Amino acid sequence: MIHWIKQSWLNLRYPVYKPYAMPHKFDTNLLVIGAGSAGLVSAYIAQVVGAKVTLVEATKMGGDCLNTGCVPSKTLIHCAKLAFDAEQSSRIGLKLSGEIDFGVVIKQVQASVTTIEPHDSVARYESLGVDVLTGFARMIDPWRAEVTLHSGETRVISARSVVLATGAAPVVPEFSGLEGSGYLTTETLWERFGELERVPDRLLIVGGGPISCELAQAMARLGSQVTLMERGSRLLRKEDTEVSEFALQLLNEAGVKVLLNTELSQLHGAKKLADLKSRESESVEYDELLLAVGRRARLKNLGLGELGFDTDQPLEVDEFLRTRYPNIFAAGDIIAPYQFTHTASHEAWYASVNGLFGAIKKFKADYSVIPWTTFMDPEIARVGLSELEAAEQQISVEVTRFDMTQSDRAVSEQSTAGFIKVLTKPGSDQILGALIIAPRAGEMLAEFVLAMKHGLGLKKIMGTIHTYPTWSEAAKSTAGNWQQKNKPDWALKVSKKYHDWMRG
């Protein structure tokens, strides 16, 4: 009787549930599908609060970030930076060998992944009390999933709430001759590089986003002849125009051939030849071809289509990260618009907590302060509004800049390329956005992220002691530039008259 009342109330409030029978009892409080950043954090939170949680992963624990994304790429970028610094060492009187052993570089990449793997492993999560299943999950109804284990066994798991965290996969556009071209994506890149004894002589990268720019600069520094083609008129199109121009300059300095307003029209796999279409048609030879034109949410083969979901678009969620079924939540790259590891972890908190405690209290996901970094050298880091976005949204802003040539730490390390740009509300020190281009921009940005999150303005940053000489001191200098522009002239005039009077 009680169950019938619950089911009737649910159907009345949420008609989407009418075709389905809710279980009388549940095997687990929270079923998490996908063990990338969002899935791991969701499972971790659930076990901390004493809930029974089941985590299902079809491939490797840790997801893209650990296995094919952040960790391997940042290790490669670090190795490339060391190679570049060695090449440039003669500027300060050092004579270092510039010879690069690409096989050793890739072993270092693999070692970084191996070192971090235990933190995300099945063994660790099982030790925490999480029921980890390795296999493919497919939703049967809003509360049940059929899990086909790698052993061949099939299990049906019922859960009070579900968190979908299956991430995203690289987009592979359709080109004539694509099959047989030997193309790579960010998922297959590292396995292929592990097979090579030397750096690819000719690398063609399709796409002009952050991943493309990062890898193009790094691989050029490691010795590849890199060609990067972008169909648009500029790189990093989500950034301000001056940032795009800065990134282009960095790639040019690294020896990368950048082709803008260019499309890939046909591939000749046997010849390792790509026909490009722009104002003037041309062909480019390659040894390795990397397609990096975006990522698409992994929604296929999860049973979601049968439940009425559109599996051709990122999942739509409400402010509590609920899908069309209020007991099914989603977090990470499977939803739009932010596809970052740190936003996936951030969303996982809301998805898991709302899934476990939503009957008592629900929390709205907060996207007010989202930072991101493009890991070129120097790094490009941003939070909040850009000038381009402010103009598009017709938001009035005051722009304050600080050039890294004025940073004593930058001068001492001969790394003065870059600047800080802060957008504030006119007549106020309230920070609306910040952009940093500097060797440690990702770390430097954290101060502005903290200030924006907690409503601290530039005056608070200026009044904070920063160690000298450090990169972070540039934040205080930027605040000082803002103060200089916004000094109270009337008060200074009164002060001058006071001091004149004090002299007698």
pLDDT in tens, 319-333: 999 999 999 999 999
Domain membership of residue 396 (yes or no) is yes
Of 293, 309, 340, the residue that ends a domain is 293
User: What pLDDT sits at residue 488?
Assistant: 80
The one-letter code for the residue type at 174 is: E
Determine the straight-line distance between the first and last CA of the chain, rounded to whole angstroms. Answer: 94
Backbone angles phi, psi at 94, to 5 degrees: -95, 150
H or E segment to which residue 285 belongs: strand 282-285
Cβ neighbours of 234 (radius 10 Å): 16
User: What pLDDT sits at residue 105?
Assistant: 96
Are residue 130 and residue 57 in the same domain, yes or no? yes
Cβ neighbours of 463 (radius 10 Å): 10
For 15-24, how does the pLDDT look when each residue is reduced to its tens digit (9 = 90+)?
998 999 899 8
Are residue 45 and residue 133 in the same domain, yes or no? yes
Segment 456-469 shows an average pLDDT of 97
Nearby residues of 301 by Cβ (< 8 Å), 6 or more positions away:
136, 138
Could you tell me the sign of the dihedral formed by the alpha carbons of 393, 397, 399, 400, in that order? Answer: negative
Domain membership of residue 45 (yes or no) is yes
HEC readout, 245-272: HHHHHHHHHHCCEEECCCEEEEEEHHHC
Are residue 128 and residue 26 in the same domain, yes or no? yes
pLDDT confidence tier of residue 99, bands split at 50, 70 and 90: confident
* Cα separations in angstroms, 356 against 128, 352, 431: 18, 6, 35
User: What pLDDT sits at residue 169?
Assistant: 95
pLDDT confidence tier of residue 8, bands split at 50, 70 and 90: confident
Give yes or no for residue 216 having a pLDDT over 90.
yes
**Cα 264 → chain centroid:** 26
Whether 348 contacts 334, CB under 8 Å: no
Please tell me what DSSP assigns to residue 68: T
How many domains is the chain partitioned into structurally?
Answer: 3
Please state, for a pLDDT cut of 90, what percent of the chain lies above it.
85
Domain membership of residue 440 (yes or no) is yes
Name the token pair of 388: 């381009």
Domain membership of residue 85 (yes or no) is no
pLDDT confidence tier of residue 88, bands split at 50, 70 and 90: confident
Domain membership of residue 447 (yes or no) is yes
Mean pLDDT check: name the lowest of 2-11, 286-295, 364-373: 2-11
Are residue 273 and residue 228 in the same domain, yes or no? yes
Give yes or no for residue 375 having a pLDDT over 70.
yes
Strand partners, 184: 290
Mean pLDDT check: name the lowest of 231-240, 263-272, 275-284, 391-400: 275-284
Give yes or no for residue 1 having a pLDDT over 70.
no
pLDDT confidence tier of residue 13, bands split at 50, 70 and 90: confident
Domain membership of residue 369 (yes or no) is no
Are residue 446 and residue 304 in the same domain, yes or no? no
DSSP 3-state assignment of 429? coil
The one-letter code for the residue type at 382 is: R
Of 243, 272, 293, the residue that ends a domain is 293
Cβ neighbours of 369 (radius 10 Å): 16
Cα–Cα dist 112/62, whole Å: 13
Domain membership of residue 284 (yes or no) is yes
Give yes or no for residue 107 having a pLDDT over 90.
yes
The pTM of the full predicted model, rounded to 2 decimals, is: 0.94
Are residue 279 and residue 305 in the same domain, yes or no? no
Are residue 233 and residue 278 in the same domain, yes or no? yes
Whether 442 contacts 379, CB under 8 Å: yes
Name the token pair of 349: 């908190």
H or E segment to which residue 163 belongs: strand 154-164
Are residue 209 and residue 278 in the same domain, yes or no? yes
User: What pLDDT sits at residue 336?
Assistant: 77
Mean pLDDT of the chain: 94
Please state, for a pLDDT cut of 70, what percent of the chain lies above it.
99
Are residue 262 and residue 353 in the same domain, yes or no? no
Please tell me what DSSP assigns to residue 445: H
Whether 451 contacts 461, CB under 8 Å: yes
Nearby residues of 116 by Cβ (< 8 Å), 6 or more positions away:
62, 66, 71
CATH code for the domain of 272: 3.50.50.60
Nearby residues of 486 by Cβ (< 8 Å), 6 or more positions away:
427, 429
Of 276, 293, 310, the residue that ends a domain is 293
Cα–Cα dist 283/273, whole Å: 7
User: What pLDDT sits at residue 234?
Assistant: 97
Are residue 286 and residue 302 in the same domain, yes or no? no
Are residue 262 and residue 317 in the same domain, yes or no? no
Give yes or no for residue 426 having a pLDDT over 80.
yes
Segment 226-245 shows an average pLDDT of 97
CATH code for the domain of 481: 3.30.390.30
Taking alpha carbons only, the member of 340, 367, 338, 364 closest to residue 351 is: 364
Are residue 352 and residue 415 in the same domain, yes or no? no
User: What pLDDT sits at residue 256?
Assistant: 98
Name the token pair of 389: 């976005």
Task: Give the domain range for residue 224.
Answer: 189-293
Domain membership of residue 222 (yes or no) is yes
